[in-house]
Chains A and B, each alone.
Chain A
Amino acid sequence: KQEVTQIPAALSVPEGENLVLNCSFTDSAIYNLQWFRQDPGKGLTSLLLIQSSQREQTSGRLNASLDKSSGRSTLYIAASQPGDSATYLCAVEVVNAGKSTFGDGTTLTVKP
């Protein structure tokens, strides 16, 4: 059974800092990995989707990498802003599962 871990559970940084969020998974036979953002009381907003054949994806100040062999993905946020404060979740889809497993998320606070 796929297990997905996100450490740390919470992170607080000053504005302008570059930061990395981590997502670890136990089964490397994956189709894809997706990063989401969730604001309090809201649904999930997709940030980046990395297919198993890809090593990274970029969107604006965000860069997500994937290393299947080590069972890790990182989400890099450059020049963090207070508006980046949210919970970030990763979801991993194992081959032939038809569904994804979600991590519990990392709650990010960016202080002005």
Chain B
Amino acid sequence: DGGITQSPKYLFRKEGQNVTLSCEQNLNHDAMYWYRQDPGQGLRLIYYSQIVNDFQKGDIAEGYSVSREKKESFPLTVTSAQKNPTAFYLCASRPTFDYGYTFGSGTRLTVV
């Protein structure tokens, strides 16, 4: 079945540590997105990529980094510069702009 796979489902980060969240899709979509969701709030865009080897900052990119070396993969690294990383992270993809989004099941990141 085609879809988006996010892993791990739960992730724990120690202070000062970088962690990487995985997002893989087999839908042959060109565009991929990373969102952050805090309790009771909507989605805020971190980074997005409309084509391989290119990506743009979203509204809250500070403390995060991404790469897009393959069409299927768009990993997100939460760096130690992100002071409040505890949140639910969602990855999405779509064929291109003007199409609807398909979302993964999310990764819950907690700082310990």
- Chain A residues in contact with chain B, CB under 8 A? 4, 31-32, 34, 36, 41-46, 49, 51, 89, 91, 93, 97-100, 102-105
Contact = CB atoms under 8 A, between A and B. Distances in A.
B102 interface: yes
Interface residues of B, number: 27
Contacts of A98: 31, 48, 50, 56, 97
B31 to A, nearest CB: 8
A98 B31 CA distance: 9
B48 A32 contact: no
B108 to A, nearest CB: 7
Given A44-B90, A98-B50, A99-B48, A89 B42 contact: yes
Q: Tell me if B's interface is mostly helix, strand, loop or mixed.
A: strand
Contacts of B40: 104
Contact of A89 (B43, B100, B105): B43
6 contacts: A49-B99, A91-B101, A98-B50, A98-B56, A99-B33, A104-B40
Contacts of B105: 42-43
A99 B97 CA distance: 7
Nearest to B56: A98
Contact of B106 (A36, A43, A100, A103): A43
